[in-house]
Amino acid sequence: ETGVTQSPTHLIKTRGQQVTLRCSSQSGHNTVSWYQQALGQGPQFIFQYYREEENGRGNFPPRFSGLQFPNYSSELNVNALELDDSALYLCASQLSGGRGDTQYFGPGTRLTVL
Amino acid sequence: GNSVTQMEGPVTLSEEAFLTINCTYTATGYPSLFWYVQYPGEGLQLLLKATKADDKGSNKGFEATYRKETTSFHLEKGSVQVSDSAVYFCALPRVNNAGNMLTFGGGTRLMVKP
């Protein structure tokens, strides 16, 4: 176990709706990243939060947004859901610092958009 | 930008067979390199890493050597077990002040038969 938890485990939404996914980082980790993993593919980096601010972003539109809280928990929000948003969403936490530092992943939230 | 190319799967082996999963990368400089494993229904776990050229990462019988001359980080195991059945991802980071933003390969599914 990595100490990173995510909720909910599964979620079903319809096109056009909004969704919020939650992540609780490993204790003491001040950096959190979110990834989208479509079925049968590798995870794609969405964005990273550090000190409660977005600190890096992948090739995702603005309807993907996030928050990081002082207790290092975080949220991923997706507005105007599209069918292609169906995926496993993974969060990963790490202690900010060196190039070899490890990211610890949560079990993911499976989002299905109908 | 960074990119990672993995051999496509699935790879099907008998127990105790030798495993190689190829991974090559494109990056600026000499990033750290990672192998992650995803067991069915679970998130990603770090399997091994190497932080500089010629480093060998190893864990649970798996090994990978960072080859800068061939920009490769192939994963090997001398004798696979049924319990090694999973999807394996090669990854490299883009590093900022807060940590790593990972670029993953597409994943290679390994199936080991008794």
Question: Helix-strand-coil percent breakdown of chain A, rounded to 5?
Answer: 5, 50, 45
Q: Nearest Cα to B75, choosing from B11, B30, B15, B26?
A: B11
Per-residue pLDDT, B39:
92
A99 is written with which tokens? 């190039």
User: Are A55 and B95 within 8 A, CB to CB?
Assistant: no
What radius of gyration, in Å, describes the C-alpha atoms of chain A?
Answer: 13
Cross-chain residue pair A103–B104, CB shorter than 8 Å = no
Confidence of residue A101 (pLDDT cuts 50, 70, 90): confident
| Residue pLDDT, tens place only, B13-34 | 999 999 999 999 998 877 889 9
Q: Is B99 on the interface with A (CB under 8 A)?
A: yes
Is B104 in Cβ contact with A42 (below 8 Å)?
yes
The chain-wide mean pLDDT, for chain B, equals 92
B44 phi-psi bin (left φ>0, alpha ψ -120 to 50, beta other) = beta
Tell me whether strands B99-104 and B86-96 are parallel, antiparallel or unpaired: antiparallel
Residue in B45, B103, B107 nearest the CB of A45: B103
Kindly determine whether residue B96 and residue A58, on different chains, have CB atoms separated by under 8 Å. no
Cα–Cα–Cα angle for A23, A88, B8, nearest 5°? 135
**Residues B87-97: what's their mean pLDDT?**
87
pLDDT in tens, A1-37: 668 999 999 999 999 999 999 999 877 788 899 999 9
User: Which site among B49, B101, B103, B104 would you substitute to test the A interface, given the most A Cβ atoms closer than 10 Å to its Cβ?
Assistant: B101
Q: What pLDDT is attached to residue B62? A: 98
Q: Report whether B6 contacts B106 (CB < 8 A).
A: yes
| Contact residues, chain A, for B42 at CB < 8 Å | 107
Cis amide prior to A107 (ω within 30 degrees):
no
Q: B45 — contact with chain A (CB < 8 Å)?
A: yes
What's the pLDDT score for residue B96?
A: 72
Tens of pLDDT, residue by residue over A31-85, are 899 999 999 899 999 999 988 899 889 999 999 999 999 888 999 999 999 999 9
Beta bridge partners of A76: A21, A66
* B102·A100 Cβ contact <8 A: no
- The whole-number pLDDT of residue A48 equals 93
